[in-house]
Homo-oligomer: A and B are copies of this chain.
C-alpha cells in the first residue's frame, strides 16, 4: 500500500509530502453528480455499493495519497433520531432539533449495530481500493454535532447553541457526552471494518473563545480520543477558525491537527508543537485561481512545513462545488514535484 499518508500521521520520514482533499468525492466531479441525480446523499451513505463507488471516484481520477469514506459528519444525529434531511440549496436540516433539557434527556444511547451500513461500506471500499491507498473514516465532533442539533441546521452565529451552553451547562455536558459516546461507537465500527485512520470534524468550533472551548468542548474530545486510543489508528482533529484554540487542541491527544488557511502553517505548527503532525492548509478557493497563483500558494505552504516529518498536504476546508478539475490536478502535481 502507498503508506505516505499513514507515515506522515505518525511523523515518520516520507519520500514526498502526502496529499488528499477534504470532500474529494463531491459535486465538483461529474461522476459524482451523475450518481447524485439518481440517489440522495443519505441513500449513498447507507448503500455500501454506492458509498464505495463514490469513495473511489477521486482515487481513479486523481493521484491522491488517501481515500476518505463517503459519508456525512451528521450521521450520528441521524442515528439518534433527530430527523436528518439534506434539502437542495439549504443543506442539512434536523427536523427534531434539541431545544430543552427534556430533549437532551430523551436522546437515546446508540449501539454500534445501528452503523452496520457504515461497517459494510468500509468493507466494500477496502476491497475495491485493493490496498492502493489508505482509507480514512470520520465523524462530526460533539460541538459541531450540537450546533446542528440545536440550530436545526446550518447557522451563521450559533446563537441558540451558545445560549444553551451558557444557560444550561449541565444539559450541555450531558448532551455532548451522549454525542461523544455515539461518535465512539460509530468510529469504532469504521475502524473494525478496516479504516486506517480517522478524522473528527469539529468544523465550526472556531466560533468559540478559548475559555469556552476549554470548559465546554475539550473534555468531550479528550474522552473520544481516550476511548479510541486502544484501536491503534491515528486520529486527525480538524476545525476552521481555530487559530486561538491550537494550544488547547494539542491537549486533545490527537495525532494530527487539521489547520484552516487563516494561519501560517509554520506559526501554527510551532504553537501546537512539532511532536504532533499537521494537515492543511490551502484555502479551497485557491483551487479556482490561475495555475501560477495555485503554485505560488502550494509552494509557500510546503516551504513553511520545511520538510519536517508529519505534514499532510490538504485544504483548509472541503473542496467547493465549482472547483475546476485542472486546479485539483495542478495542486497535486505541485505537491508531488516540490521543491521543483
Binding site for B on A (CB under 8 A): 156-159, 162-163, 166-167, 206-211, 241, 243-244, 261-264, 267, 283, 285-286, 288-290, 293, 300, 320, 322
Question: Could you say which of A211, A243, A267 has the most chain B C-beta atoms within 10 Å of its C-beta?
Answer: A243
- In the assembly, how many copies of this chain are there? 2
Give the complex CA separation of A290 and B165 in angstroms.
11
Chain B residues within 8 Å of A290, by CB: 166-167
Chain B residues within 8 Å of A264, by CB: 209-211, 244
In the complex, residue of chain B having the shortest beta-carbon distance to the beta carbon of A260 = B209
Give the complex CA separation of A263 and B244 in angstroms.
6
Given contacts A158-B285, A241-B262, A244-B267, 9 further A-B contacts (CB under 8 A): A159-B320, A162-B286, A163-B285, A166-B286, A167-B289, A206-B241, A207-B262, A243-B262, A244-B263
Chain B nearest Cβ from A158, distance in angstroms: 8
For the complex of A and B, the 3 pairs showing the least CB-CB separation, nearest first, are A166-B289, A243-B243, A162-B285
Chain B residues within 8 Å of A320, by CB: 157, 159
A166-B293, A243-B243, A288-B163 known; A262 vs B209 contact (CB < 8 Å): yes
Q: List 17 A-B contacts (CB under 8 A).
A: A159-B285, A159-B288, A162-B283, A162-B285, A163-B289, A166-B288, A167-B289, A167-B290, A167-B293, A207-B262, A209-B283, A210-B262, A210-B264, A211-B264, A243-B243, A243-B262, A244-B262
